[in-house]
Amino acid sequence: MLEQGKINIRQLTVLVIAFTMGTSFLLGPSPLALEAKQNAWIAAIIGIVIDLVLIVMYVALGNLFP
């Protein structure tokens, strides 16, 4: 529940994961496949790793600034 407009860390984590992964799944594959051709799977794995790093960073910031 919202208390004075604040969300807890679990809600932040779910929002960040949903936004980051959803955006990368919707916007990433087609331009990625056009550029990387048969090596698109390597680029997709690199993109997922970068997304996971961003998620960890956002959650760490959420813990620092509740």
What CA–CA distances, in Å, run from 34 to 9, 20, 24, 61? 37, 22, 15, 35
Structurally, how many domains does the chain consist of? Answer: 1
The whole-angstrom separation of Cα 30 and Cα 48 is 15
The pLDDT of residue 28 is 66
The pLDDT of residue 35 is 74
The answer as to whether 27 is a domain residue is yes
Q: Where are the beta strands (DSSP E) in 1-66?
A: none
The pLDDT of residue 2 is 55
Residue 5: phi and psi, rounded to 5, are 75, 20
The answer as to whether 15 is a domain residue is yes
pLDDT digit string (tens) for 1-46?
Answer: 556 777 777 887 888 888 877 776 666 667 777 777 787 778 778 8
The pLDDT of residue 3 is 62
The pLDDT of residue 20 is 79
The answer as to whether 43 is a domain residue is yes
Enclosing domain of residue 24: 9-64
The answer as to whether 14 is a domain residue is yes
The whole-angstrom separation of Cα 21 and Cα 15 is 10
Predicted structure pTM score:
0.58
